[in-house]
Structure 1
Amino acid sequence: MIDKVPPQPAPEWKHTPEQITAGIASVISESKTLNDRIAAVSEPRFDNVIKTLVDEEQGRYGDVRQLLFYHSVSADKDIRESSAKAEEVYREYSIETSMREDMFKVVDTVFKQDPDLDAESKRLLEKMHLDYVRNGLALPKETQEELKQLQKKLSSLELAYKTNLSENTEFILFSKEELIGLPEDNLSQLEQVDGKYKMTFKYPDVLPVGKYVQNADTRRRAFVGDQNKATENSELLSEAVKLRAQIATILGYKTHAAYVLEERMAKSPENVFAFLNDLRSKLTDAGRAEIARLLELKKQDQKALGLLEDSTFNVWDYRFYDRLLLETAYDVDDQKISEYFPMQQTVEKMLGIFEELFSLRFVEITGADRSVWHEDCKQFAVWEVKEGDEISFVGWLYFDLHPRTGKYGHAANFNLNPGYTDKEGKRVYPVTALVCNFSKPTATKPSLLKHNEVVTLFHELGHGIHNLVSVTTYARFHGTRVARDFVEAPSQMLEFWCWQPAQLKRLSGHYLSPTKPIDDALVERIVKSKHVNGSLFALRQLHFGLFDLTLHTAPAGEVDVAKLWNEMRQDIALLQQADEVTHGYASFGHLMGGYDAGYYGYLWSEVFAADIFYSKFRADAMNREAGMAYRDAILRPGGSREETESLKLLLGREPTNEAFLAELGITV
């Protein structure tokens, strides 16, 4: 029991729309005053330019991120709209200030002095200087102004795309007969309208329809409807791709992908294409074999239902027959498994694993002391137990795990306030939040997590832990603020825990009898099923990655986006779609949310994740010594040094792809 009071209070979540508007205006005003003062420094040095600028700006990070976070989570539409407008205003200001020539001049002066600095401060100076160069500050004045206007236009497109998704309320009405096969728990959560069931495109509604409903036409309508939601985003993405290409050309890069990848571990589009195409060549035959197996199952199913044989395996068939294969050939029943993973209990046990591995303690805040943005949220104070049982505060952690109108629709971690050392030398502690969309409890059952949802929750919590245990001097390098093609590696590495028999049992407990863990035989079947249709899953990721990279290497961004999306799915993912033309890129939030020319990173970073797990944890997933070494080498430094340096420090060698290929069943 920890009865200490955290040295830093949790954020208060009581903003009105007017306070959000006024708050962002105040931040911008203070920032502009500071920048004007910095730009006028007559003798620029690191301490009176870079350090002063960073000390004051990062002190406002938490305020800004909180005000903009409401857009993703508030149940109040007026607050969401005010937050979205604040984000638009702040984005415009950020573009303005990032392209101030007078600021570049003083930073450039300090950079050319090559001051004697500690490693993290030197990295900060180099990154700040490079930011200005990559923003075009070394170009003629008229070109800078053109770039500024293009960046503002691009920012508006990205924000509109995001808003269209979060505010989307489209749905399809199905009769009960059209939903035969849908488990009662899922059916009971659907709102009824005029005697029919309303399926929205939120995860807890649409995904079970694809997995369980027998009627192929229902599955088709659900899949196509979900793919074609927020159609207004199609044009926004096309326009953004052209703008990105135009900006890259002005900055002297061949393509937008070349511009983006300059700062990533991959370094160039050519390297990424080679990586993805090599994987594709190794996985395609295995994918075709998996399709053939699923197609045979489909034929058997159609015969049993008295239907005409359909020898085409469509994209809306995949989830249904993948699930059916797991149930029939592997005796893995998602519904039965979920009974052993009631959400609240599973979260508590996940936290227990992280406590043991990383010497942490999570204390839930309840009652009048709780400070949250919605009643569904849980709040934790996080502590570290050091040698001699010394307790030190780590930061604040939030969980917001159920869907609601207007809320961010996927699963993500939000780093609400990065940790850093302030100008008085005091530690400012991080605040991080997990935002997911798992089914709500019913009148008779708690929220139950399917195994893939357990994996998702563990993954996102991995990001949260990264943000919590990172300790850097500057907020810029804190936690998940690493190279985009490395950021997923720590969380992907932790997914392995969800496939270890001992850890699965530790996480489990039947919702009717919490002390009853999942039985060994079922655990064994789950573990054996890990790579069932694994090639098809990887090919689906390759479709996304190659689509993204092809978009962002197209000359002038001129590409038929719909044609590319649909043809690539069939060619790469091997899934047909009859004559349906879908527009899944209109809800592919990564492309307008920071992963442009970067989606490949999910597969790229899996190389490092597998290497770390196989090298350090495969023999004993709860090895405390390995956990602490991993925490200190990979998580603690965040982006304050090169990612390859952190990997080599932990592994004692250069990373390799041997474990990654072994996981995919590829022999080299």
Structure 2
Amino acid sequence: MSTSNSSFFTPAYPPPQWTHTPQQVEELAKKAGEDLIKLNDHIVSLENPTIENVVFPVINYENESYLRENMITFYENVSANKELRDASSEALRKMLEVAIEQNSRVDVYRVYKRLYESAKEDEMDPETYRWLEKTYISYKRNGLDLPEDKREEVKRLKVEVSNLCNDFHKNMNEEKGFIVYTAEDLEGVPQDNLDQFEKVEGGYKMTFKYPDVLPVIKYAKKQEIRKKSYIANENKLMANSEILLKVAKLRFKIAKLLGYDTYSDYVLEDRLAKTKSTVMDFLTDLRDKLTPLGKDELERLKEFKNNELKSRNLPPQDVYYAWDHSYYSNLLLEKEYQVDHQKISKYFPLDNTIKQMFSFYETIFDIKLHQIENPDPKTLWHPDAKLLAVYQNITHGSPKNQFMGWLYIDLHPREGKYTHAANFPLGGGYQLSDGGRMTPVTALVCNFTKPTKTKPSLLQHSEVTTFFHELGHGIHNILSQTKYSRFHGTAVPRDFVETPSQMLEFWTWSKNELKKLTAHYETGEPISDDLIDLLIKSKHVNTGLLNLRQLQLGLFDMALHTVDNEKDLETLDLAKLWNGYRESISLLQTDGIKTHGYSTFGHLAGGYESGYYGYLYSQVFANDIYYTLFKKDPMSVESGLKYRDSVLRPGDSRDIMIGLKEVLGREPNSDAFLQEMLGSN
């Protein structure tokens, strides 16, 4: 990672200024709505609508508003100022309401319909034709061919769903629950983790932020403490249970009004999978293949658990519980595979690991990630955030040292911040009228352990993989080069969007690359070959249960959105469905206690509804690409540039399968996927 930009061109566009007040956020949201209404009013007033006076002005509006609007709604996820977060959340609510209203205008739809039906694909620029076609289809899918009363009902229901989903995520970000434990309660939890906890009267305050609750469930020796923590974490957002049920019922009504049997039919029509039968066949076939493996793993873990209980003079148990799994999986790795994740984490101090991680991306994609030292505070939303300029064509290609965009990273938890790990594409790149390019802005938001006065933040290997994954999304956004912002970067189908990031996760399991990521935080020594070999050997330990958990989530999502009649919808019991699927699919029990983990399943209120299967579906492509291009030589620049140019650069400006066939030299297949899923490589 470069710290000097003397050899690089000055970026054409400065980084954004994060100086908004709550009042400014409110005003900008109001203006965004007014501008959209004004633009559509102008379109329908034209006597002779054409590509030139309709499509291009709307494209320009989309391009120019992308960053401006995403900035004011992003504060909800990262600002330390609650008033600003609230204003941001309200801004998102209002802008979505206006967008739904405007996307339901029949007069605007008729303009696009007329343009689309008269357009000649072979006489148009391919990306412009794709924009027009997708715009027309989008309006049509909003039900604008329906009678007025049904159109109005669809619009009303969509606004209600949008508001409920906004509430769902706001509840997640603002959650402040905790449990106070004594030092005795937390026996087994590493001191490094305990040092992160706030000390209060009575002991340690364990919040439900990842760096607090996960180590307790993973390391606490006392089963009752793990149980208490697991159940409380699953049930920390009960208000969201009712919200999700309302959302499911409203989506069902929307689908029926639009002429679909189920909401899944509506959603999947626009995805690579196309139909719910394709998705369900994929998931159920995978379940059939993984269940025997998962059951074998479960029996082994149950035996291991009882041997451990016996060694502590505790009575045996017939059941392997959900709150046992992290603890005994980790203990199994330590005892039988000599994989001590706490020991391994000492080789992954955050700053050095990220520096080395960046160097991989720099080599493979011929880029440079230059961290801005002492940036203007106005260019950051919080002092924890860091700003990097990304350049391309350092040693290969032309123009040399081409500025590609701004990358933010914000890595530690704080009150009110987004609670998981994600990439936020803040500003899409696009082609300017003078032939130049507006460069993108993207942000990685994670929740890794904070450094202390005596130790840096030390990453678990799983967290290294998580950051590698999210950086994959970020680099996808930075390196994409489309004409229009609508198609930029990760704006690809939901069941493909995870592919680039999942493919890059393989680097965290490749021996030579993994070793280069490491440096002991005290000595600077890389991890030993023996320890790396043991870690890599453990990759497929309990992989059946791991993937059955993903299937549980994917099948729960599909069950929620494939209800096809009113009676079943009215009797839908989310808790019963969730707990039943956990027991029957992921094979983990909770002693008859109902948990409500779906109330923290943010994907279902954030664009992955009837789409969570995509995490598994996209791995088919990810594994195929890695095995074909990179398995023999993970640091191949030739393969990296080929992949960059065929898969990352086009974004969604053309059919995804074109790029896949270019890099694979054939149609994709599932051979590598099944090899990985079944742990046979």
Does the residue aligned with 2:303 lie in a helix, a strand or coil? helix
Q: Tell me the residue number matched to 1:507.
A: 517
C-alpha distance in 2 between matches for 1:666 and 1:26: 54
Q: Tell me the residue number matched to 2:527.
A: 518
- The one-letter amino acid paired with 1:566 is N
- Kept in 2: contact 1:302–1:309 (CA 8 A): yes
C-alpha distance in 1 between matches for 2:258 and 2:405: 40
Q: Tell me the residue number matched to 2:73.
A: 68
C-alpha distance in 2 between matches for 1:269 and 1:667: 29
- The one-letter amino acid paired with 1:70 is Y
The answer to whether the aligner puts 1:8 opposite 2:5 as a matched pair is no
Say which is worse superposed, 38-47 or 205-214, in terms of deviation: 38-47
Describe the shift of the 1:437–1:629 C-alpha distance in structure 2 as closer, same or farther (beyond 3 A): same
Q: Tell me the residue number matched to 1:104.
A: 109
Q: Give the TM-score normalised by the residue count of structure 2.
A: 0.97
Does the residue aligned with 1:133 lie in a helix, a strand or coil? helix
Q: Tell me the residue number matched to 1:498.
A: 508
- The one-letter amino acid paired with 1:272 is V
Q: Tell me the residue number matched to 2:483.
A: 473
Deviation of 1:423 (Å): 3.8
C-alpha distance in 1 between matches for 2:624 and 2:398: 33
Deviation of 1:195 (Å): 2.2
The answer to whether the aligner puts 1:398 opposite 2:408 as a matched pair is yes
C-alpha distance in 2 between matches for 1:358 and 1:44: 43
- Kept in 1: contact 2:643–2:663 (CA 8 A): yes
1:461-610 aligned at under 5 Å gives the runs 461-514=471-524, 516-555=525-564, 556=566, 557-558=569-570, 559-610=572-623
The answer to whether the aligner puts 1:412 opposite 2:415 as a matched pair is no
Match of 1:383 among 391, 398, 404: 391
Does the residue aligned with 1:177 lie in a helix, a strand or coil? coil
- Kept in 2: contact 1:38–1:53 (CA 8 A): no
Alignment size in residue pairs: 667
C-alpha distance in 2 between matches for 1:119 and 1:88: 34
The answer to whether the aligner puts 1:30 opposite 2:43 as a matched pair is no
The answer to whether the aligner puts 1:374 opposite 2:387 as a matched pair is no
The answer to whether the aligner puts 1:645 opposite 2:658 as a matched pair is yes
Q: Tell me the residue number matched to 1:322.
A: 329
C-alpha distance in 1 between matches for 2:358 and 2:90: 36
1:296-324 Cα distance to aligned partner (Å, 9 max, x none): 11101111111111121000000000000
1:442-477 Cα distance to aligned partner (Å, 9 max, x none): 121000001000000000000000000000011111
1:237-276 aligned at under 5 Å gives the runs 237-276=244-283
Does the residue aligned with 1:458 lie in a helix, a strand or coil? helix
- The one-letter amino acid paired with 1:372 is L
Q: Tell me the residue number matched to 1:295.
A: 302
- Kept in 2: contact 1:41–1:106 (CA 8 A): no
- Kept in 2: contact 1:430–1:468 (CA 8 A): yes
1:494-544 Cα distance to aligned partner (Å, 9 max, x none): 000000000001111111123x21111111011100010000000000000
- Kept in 1: contact 2:290–2:678 (CA 8 A): no
C-alpha distance in 1 between matches for 2:287 and 2:452: 43
1:110-509 aligned at under 5 Å gives the runs 110-115=115-120, 116-369=123-376, 371-385=379-393, 386-387=396-397, 390-509=400-519
Q: Tell me the residue number matched to 1:78.
A: 83
- The one-letter amino acid paired with 1:465 is I
- The one-letter amino acid paired with 2:630 is F
Say which is worse superposed, 30-39 or 648-657, in terms of deviation: 30-39
The answer to whether the aligner puts 1:21 opposite 2:33 as a matched pair is no
- The one-letter amino acid paired with 1:608 is F
- Kept in 1: contact 2:217–2:327 (CA 8 A): yes
Deviation of 1:217 (Å): 0.6
Does the residue aligned with 1:383 lie in a helix, a strand or coil? strand
C-alpha distance in 2 between matches for 1:482 and 1:631: 15
Deviation of 1:57 (Å): 2.7
Does the residue aligned with 2:189 lie in a helix, a strand or coil? coil
C-alpha distance in 2 between matches for 1:242 and 1:424: 49
- Identical aligned residues as a percent: 47
The answer to whether the aligner puts 1:665 opposite 2:678 as a matched pair is yes
Deviation of 1:56 (Å): 1.9
- Kept in 1: contact 2:290–2:544 (CA 8 A): yes
Please, which runs of 5 or more residues in structure 2 have no aligned partner? none
- The one-letter amino acid paired with 2:257 is I
Describe the shift of the 1:66–1:453 C-alpha distance in structure 2 as closer, same or farther (beyond 3 A): same
C-alpha distance in 1 between matches for 2:328 and 2:581: 22
C-alpha distance in 1 between matches for 2:249 and 2:201: 45
Deviation of 1:666 (Å): 6.8
Match of 1:43 among 48, 65, 69: 48
Say which is worse superposed, 73-82 or 31-40, in terms of deviation: 31-40
Q: Tell me the residue number matched to 1:655.
A: 668
C-alpha distance in 1 between matches for 2:63 and 2:580: 45
Does the residue aligned with 1:59 lie in a helix, a strand or coil? helix
- Kept in 2: contact 1:31–1:57 (CA 8 A): no
C-alpha distance in 2 between matches for 1:94 and 1:31: 8
Say which is worse superposed, 118-127 or 586-595, in terms of deviation: 118-127
C-alpha distance in 1 between matches for 2:354 and 2:421: 15
Describe the shift of the 1:375–1:289 C-alpha distance in structure 2 as closer, same or farther (beyond 3 A): same
1:316-358 Cα distance to aligned partner (Å, 9 max, x none): 0000000001101111111111111110111111111111011
Q: Give the TM-score normalised by the residue count of structure 1.
A: 0.98
- The one-letter amino acid paired with 2:575 is A
- The one-letter amino acid paired with 1:2 is N
C-alpha distance in 2 between matches for 1:512 and 1:197: 27
Deviation of 1:368 (Å): 4.4
Does the residue aligned with 2:412 lie in a helix, a strand or coil? coil
- Kept in 1: contact 2:62–2:486 (CA 8 A): no
Say which is worse superposed, 642-651 or 481-490, in terms of deviation: 642-651
C-alpha distance in 1 between matches for 2:619 and 2:573: 30
1:67-89 Cα distance to aligned partner (Å, 9 max, x none): 00000000010000000110111
- The one-letter amino acid paired with 1:11 is P
- The one-letter amino acid paired with 2:352 is Q
- The one-letter amino acid paired with 1:379 is L
- Kept in 1: contact 2:543–2:679 (CA 8 A): no
- Kept in 2: contact 1:55–1:422 (CA 8 A): no
- Kept in 2: contact 1:59–1:422 (CA 8 A): no
C-alpha distance in 2 between matches for 1:394 and 1:95: 33
